[in-house]
Structure 1
Amino acid sequence: MKNLAQIITEQREKKQISQTQLATLSGINQAHISRIESGKSKPTMPTVFRICKALDIDPLILADVLAQEFRAFMGDNSSTRSKASV
């Protein structure tokens, strides 16, 4: 399964626009777009929605992947969670 960074990059390239153009269209800093696409930064839901609007894609495509990545992350940190709740 593709991760969020891969899907955003793929969709941007499919539309044949640069990161700079995506930044302009979405109102998100180009450096942040770069960090998102490289997987160094996880976007918030509002950022995902802005990217979707700029790329003219259904937000559910990216929101579902983001939710899956979050669930996987929380699963990896379940021991941390249970210790914090004790």
Structure 2
Amino acid sequence: MPNLGKLIVHERMRRGIGPEPFADACGISRQTLYRIETGECEPSLPSLRKIARVLHVSPGKLLDLGA
């Protein structure tokens, strides 16, 4: 999933949400968010669902599945 982090950053910034409030809303640490956004790690499925929910998109969109 090489584009996952970039898509998350794009969607987060498009909505004007800073990294700290976004991480808090997703229930993940700021460090974990940084690692996800830079592609260092991938979110767990529950975290991906929370991220998608906060961004008001489907998990499939973040995974670039055309959903």
What pairs up with 1:66-77 in 2 under 5 angstroms?
none
Identity %: 28
CA distance in 2, matches of 1:8, 1:59: 10
CA distance in 1, matches of 2:6, 2:59: 15
Q: Structure 1 residue 56: deviation in Å?
A: 1.3
Find the structure with the greater CA-based Rg.
1
| Contact 1:22–1:55 (CA under 8 A) maintained in structure 2 | no
Number of aligned residues: 64
| TM-score (normalizing by structure 1) | 0.67
CA RMSD of aligned residues (A): 1.7
Q: Structure 1 residue 24: deviation in Å?
A: 1.2
Structure 1: gaps spanning 5 or more residues: 68-86
What pairs up with 1:7-22 in 2 under 5 angstroms?
7-22=7-22
Structure 2: gaps spanning 5 or more residues: none
CA distance in 1, matches of 2:6, 2:23: 17
Runs ≥4 residues deviating over 4 A: none
Structure of greater relative contact order (alpha carbons < 8 Å, 6+ residues apart) = 2
